[in-house]
Structure 1
Amino acid sequence: MAFGTKFSLRATCVAVLAGVIGITAAVLGFIAERKRITVNEMVWDDGANQCIMPRNESFSLSISAAFLVLLMQVLLTAAGGCTCCNYRIDKLASPAKLAIKSLVVSWTLCVVAMIFYFYGAGVSSNHHAQSNPRPVLPASTSASCGYAVDSGVFAGAAFLTILATASGITYYLAASRVYIHSWLCQPTYCIEVAQLPPPKPIPLAIITTT
């Protein structure tokens, strides 16, 4: 895509909407990182036979962020169309190559970010907390009555969300350029076909009678 490229109002609105959804998901991820429960805040009460911990806000925040990043990705993919399976599109053209690469990168980042969100939410949920839990889970610290997510899990997911949003918007804008390019090139092809040399006239034999 060249600088100064003009896009339609529909393409601009879809890109802005997807950007807002992606940034919202990233903000929720950063808030979940700040609101996560630490090991020092989790204490097992033998008398009450339950785990005493503050309200877990990171669970709902991370789940919401995961669904928002998925919504953003599906929106951009559906609006951009299938550039990989459309036989009318030149896959070697610059916009098409950029669109396909951006689509693969954005979906990869989206899936990894969702794994981080759901894993952090599952570890920090502690619905079945018990005293001295085993085994130790990765990217978490074992407390006296459950698990605490290590720092960086939700923040890493939020950072991946930003990258996925940027890649997804790049895909959508590049895909929009692909379809515009294909539509503009179609009449040229038709004109070239229509300007074939005219067929030679068939000579007519004149029969004379004597």
Structure 2
Amino acid sequence: MKVLRMEGRVIAVVVAAGVFGFIAIVLGFVGEAKRIKTDEVTYSADNGYCYYPITSAPALGIASAILLLIYQIVISVGVGCFCCSRRPCPKECGGICSIISFVFSWLFFISAFTNLIRAAVLNNMNFLMDHYSNDDDLCPVANPGLFAVAGVLCLFTVALGFLSYFLVMCSRNKGVGQLSNDQGVAMGQPQLPKEGV
């Protein structure tokens, strides 16, 4: 019964995290296609303003960042080695590799999250008009590829998070199998109370 409950939990974590992670990756790459491009910006010599088009890229970047955060929380709870559980991580090779993958997943997450927010801000029409109008006729836009880099970082975050999760689950399953194989008759000397005490 406990094994079935554990399998159900593993499937639930994988499906939930997979959906959030996949959508975050896709939105990151769609944001690249929807970003503000140089040829879409017009400069008015009359008043010195740069006119930027309204685009869905900022919303896509914010949504991707939020979904990636949800993914990372789900995987962290699933791994459960550090702050989310009282269980210690396994000490064998799979457990150590899981910890390393988990740490790198968080590092890639931080980088992806900040790049997604940065890309969203730099593609916001109001931000660009407030910061770059009236300067000159350059009308700068965000560098191409900012969303694509964030999408690749999301991909690495998701891949390392899943690797960490599967490694820790395999390590825990080995421990469960060893416990069930070692059960049996306990051998030892009986402890009888001393007479005359």
- TM beyond 0.5: yes
SS for the counterpart of 1:44 is: strand
Q: Counterpart in 2 of 1:109?
A: 108
Query: Scaled by the length of structure 1, what TM-score is found?
Result: 0.74
Percent of pairs identical after alignment?
Answer: 26
Residue identity matched to 1:72: Y
Shift in Å, 1:14: 1.4
Is the contact between residue 44 and residue 131 of structure 1 (CA under 8 Å) also seen in structure 2? no
Q: Is the 8 A contact 1:36 1:56 kept in 2?
A: yes
Matched residues in 2 for 1:87 and 1:100: separation? 14
Which secondary structure state, in structure 2, belongs to the residue aligned with residue 67 of structure 1?
helix
Partner of 1:68: 67
Q: Decide which of 161, 170, 176 is 1:177's aligned counterpart.
A: 170
Aligned to 2:157: 164
Alignment RMSD, CA only? 3.0
More off after superposition, 169-178 vs 158-167: 169-178
1:132 aligns with 2:124: no
Distance in 2, Cα, partners of 1:196 & 1:89? 30
Match of 1:208 in 2: none
Q: Is the 8 A contact 2:90 2:172 kept in 1?
A: no
* Structure 1 runs (4+) greater than 6 angstroms displaced: none
- Count of aligned residue pairs for this structure pair: 185
Letter in 1 for 2:9: R
The AA in structure 2 aligned to 1:33 is E
Residue 98 (structure 2) aligns with: 99
Amino acid at match of 2:60: L
* Equivalent residues of 1:25, 1:69 under 8 A apart: yes
Displacement of 1:87: 6.8
Write the distance in 2 (CA, Å) between the matches of 1:25 and 1:120: 14
**Residue 152 in structure 1 maps to residue 155 in structure 2:** no
Q: Unaligned stretches of 5+ in structure 2?
A: 1-5
Which secondary structure does the structure 1 equivalent of 2:123 belong to? helix
| Contact 2:54–2:125 (8 Å) recurs in 1 | no
Corresponding position of 1:77: 76
Task: Please tell me the residue identity of whatever aligns with 1:144.
Answer: L
> Shift in Å at residue 17 of structure 1?
2.2
1:131 maps to amino acid: N
For the residues of structure 2 that align with 1:98 and 1:179, how far apart are their CA atoms?
13
**1:45 paired to 2:25:** no
Could you tell me whether the CA contact under 8 Å between 1:89 and 1:182 is conserved in 2?
A: no
Tell me which residue corresponds to 2:187. 195
Give the aligned residue type for 1:195. M
- Rounded to whole Å, the distance in 2 between the matches of 1:88 and 1:167 is 20
Whichever of the two has the greater Rg, that structure is 1
Paired residue for 1:27? 26
- TM-score scaled to structure 2, two decimals? 0.78
Contact 1:42 1:144 in 2 (8 A): no
Q: Distance in 1 between matches of 2:53 and 2:125?
A: 12
